[in-house]
Structure 1
């Protein structure tokens, strides 16, 4: 059940002006499709003043209210279903029902509209008969007003008066009141008309004395000034009311925006937590890659300056005294297709070699591979060289102790990364052969037991593209 919280159940409007009949619902409960109806409960019938259909976003008005009503479409999302009624007539007085329907339910609220007349001018006339007769006349009042005759001190006069109140075709009332002054009584006379509903009044004064004409005019000017001030005060009150409504609306909007920001921040935090969790899992899932040396240590011919002079007591092939040969360890399992990524922890070693070699099912030379069958990074004396076809391509400085290797057999390339920062160090294109038995194996240099780098496979996806 949707909760209503109207600011008032009874509203007062002035004929010829405009008024807002309030109707609010809790905005969190409003779906995308809903309908709004404002119904006037007349004595003999019910008139559908205005209807809004949420399916086609259409608003219809009854012919009696054509051009005089509108709904606040831009504020529906905030729960404002109020009706703006313009050019108020005396016939608009009565009960109005606000009905909001959605999800096979309807919710209504009853609002009472009181209608009052404006403040017309009042005229005093002195008939040319015996004695002094006065007549007070005013048009355009609603509902029926009260007429009071006063003296100069603001006290009710003792003279008898006759008052006639007639309804005009417009539905407003015309007032005609007459009285005769008692000889010797106060010659200052006031006729005051009071609207008890709107708590307003209109008053006119007259002094029956030629010497007091100036005083009369002065008081009349003061009366007009007082009316002008009262009108200004009323306008100020209305303006303050409009501003208060605007402040409430802005407050609701700010609250809504803060809620969105908090939701967005929570979403970002969850994303950051997932990223931290992936990093933690990545560290947990690292394990040593199962590698062994071939029956005979394979030697790679490196035609680069400054090749490391590494001694190996386990397998000492011929020619190891030559600085151009390096013993390597080759992984047991190789790759024939797809994309594969692993990381090598080289620690603080100054001299090492790591990369990928291709096995075609035959050897070019006992214990040695041709230069076109391997691609590698080579560090010698603290500096890094990229090795391709026995050529030193580029010299780079080392900032990371873990090297990432991506073997992409779909794009025919090998990428080397600084693993901790995931920044690319080098891209090398590789040539793919046509032999169906062609395999690619990770390898790294074999130094002493304490100097051998460690290969870690990465079992979880890593953000390698684009780099």
Structure 2
């Protein structure tokens, strides 16, 4: 816009954006950059952010230097400005808990006296889904494989690879299904003809983030044997650099919450995972505070303890009922060096590296609990949470007793770091 007729302080005043799309991760926080260029910065001005939905212009939020006004209901409770940065010309918009519907074009509109300038910012949304699961179906002369995963956006690419990491030539028939929250579920299948390489990888690629998740299956045994006689080793693994990329996108440390334990111990029953086997009991410490919503992350230093259990339990604070094993608690435990999950009796293997510090990520927006080896950044287990829809309950951290077990403080990055 022309600046003719502006006061002297406003001449040469403009707003700018990066000029390239900004990528936001579903469920996380994103900052849409907008920079005011003027020396000196006007003492009084206002900024309005507008979202373009088809032919409509929807107010996201505005700030007049004194108060924040939230706009359309879809953005309420999720908008933030950075007034302490206004003197540096930073009039960016913070948007929490990114949704698929947030994708689109935004306008940063800055006004000074009776003049204004605006610039557009494009937001692209992405989501990194689950590690794929490979299912084997044995036949008389060949093997049928299925690869399943969910929670992706945009529509991902599916690759079947051989033992050398090369794309396999066998035909594949992927099927994409749109889930209720706008994310994609993928079901892909293929057939291994006689004489094929019996090591297969299913790789899912998010093209927007260039992040992959991969599972590999090795098949040994005669093709004439039936499915129950075929030995299958399924390895759910990602290269260290890929996992680190995922962790960097999720910004766990920004979700760090301090955890303090109640002094009194409690006896907690956990599911055994086997029918006819009584639930094992553990003396544990439970957190003083619980969580009802949002995303929470904490790290536990386990010291020299070899056998331990940690996780979360769900309790209705008003009734004081004892948690029911297998329904109200979700845990990861180590026994005689082997890891086990509350989801079943299947062993998860042994911890790699030192394994003395574990990260716990409680995502109540997506109803998931994840455990990480902090040293190797390896995802150890992911559990789905369910509380039967009771709004009165809360999730409380817990950990078994032991000398040297303590919460590890995690530094929280500054809100505008990296801009």
For the structure 1 residues 232 and 103, does the alpha-carbon distance in structure 2 shift closer, same or farther, using more than 3 Å as the test? Answer: same
Q: Does 1:20 align with 2:35?
A: no
Shift of 1:113: 0.7
Partners of 1:144 and 1:247 in 2: how far apart? 28
Partners of 2:231 and 2:244 in 1: how far apart? 22
Contact 1:70–1:85 under 8 Å retained in 2: yes
Match of 1:75 among 85, 99, 107: 85
Q: Which has the larger radius of gyration?
A: 1
Partners of 2:148 and 2:177 in 1: how far apart? 11
Shift of 1:4: 2.5
Contact 1:24–1:79 under 8 Å retained in 2: yes
TM-score (norm 1): 0.47
Match of 1:123 among 124, 128, 133: 133
2:72 is aligned to 62
Partners of 2:203 and 2:90 in 1: how far apart? 41
Partners of 1:158 and 1:8 in 2: how far apart? 40
- Residue deviations 1:32-79 (CA, integer Å, cap 9, x gap): 33211100111131111011134x534323210111111112212221
- Residue deviations 1:366-393 (CA, integer Å, cap 9, x gap): xxxxxxxxxxxxxxxxxxxxxxxxxxxx
Match of 2:246 among 183, 207, 231: 231
Contact 2:220–2:232 under 8 Å retained in 1: no
1:297 is aligned to none
Shift of 1:3: 2.3
SS at match of 1:100: strand
For the structure 1 residues 11 and 214, does the alpha-carbon distance in structure 2 shift closer, same or farther, using more than 3 Å as the test? Answer: farther
- Pick the structure with more strand per residue: 2
Runs ≥4 in structure 1, deviation > 6 angstroms? none
- Residue deviations 1:399-450 (CA, integer Å, cap 9, x gap): xxxxxxxxxxxxxxxxxxxxxxxxxxxxxxxxxxxxxxxxxxxxxxxxxxxx
2:96 is aligned to 86
Partners of 1:247 and 1:143 in 2: how far apart? 25
Contact 2:212–2:242 under 8 Å retained in 1: no
Shift of 1:128: 4.8
Contact 2:70–2:79 under 8 Å retained in 1: no
1:152 is aligned to 163
Match of 1:4 among 2, 15, 37: 15
1:96 is aligned to 106
For the structure 1 residues 117 and 175, does the alpha-carbon distance in structure 2 shift closer, same or farther, using more than 3 Å as the test? Answer: same
1:339 is aligned to none
Contact 1:160–1:180 under 8 Å retained in 2: yes
Shift of 1:9: 3.6
Q: Which runs of 5+ in 2 are unaligned?
A: 1-11, 223-229, 255-412
Correspondence 1:201-216 to 2 at 5 A: 201-209=212-220, 216=233
SS at match of 2:220: coil
Partners of 2:163 and 2:57 in 1: how far apart? 51
The total of aligned residue pairs comes to 242
Match of 1:45 among 35, 47, 56: 56
TM-score (norm 2): 0.52
For the structure 1 residues 179 and 58, does the alpha-carbon distance in structure 2 shift closer, same or farther, using more than 3 Å as the test? Answer: closer
CA RMSD of aligned residues (A): 3.0
Match of 1:172 among 165, 169, 183: 183
Correspondence 1:281-300 to 2 at 5 A: none
2:148 is aligned to 137
Contact 2:126–2:154 under 8 Å retained in 1: yes
Contact 1:9–1:110 under 8 Å retained in 2: no
Contact 2:24–2:98 under 8 Å retained in 1: yes
Contact 1:61–1:69 under 8 Å retained in 2: no
Match of 2:42 among 27, 31, 42: 31
Contact 1:2–1:29 under 8 Å retained in 2: no
Contact 1:97–1:109 under 8 Å retained in 2: yes
Partners of 1:105 and 1:14 in 2: how far apart? 35
Shift of 1:28: 3.1
SS at match of 1:140: strand
- Pick the structure with more helix per residue: 1
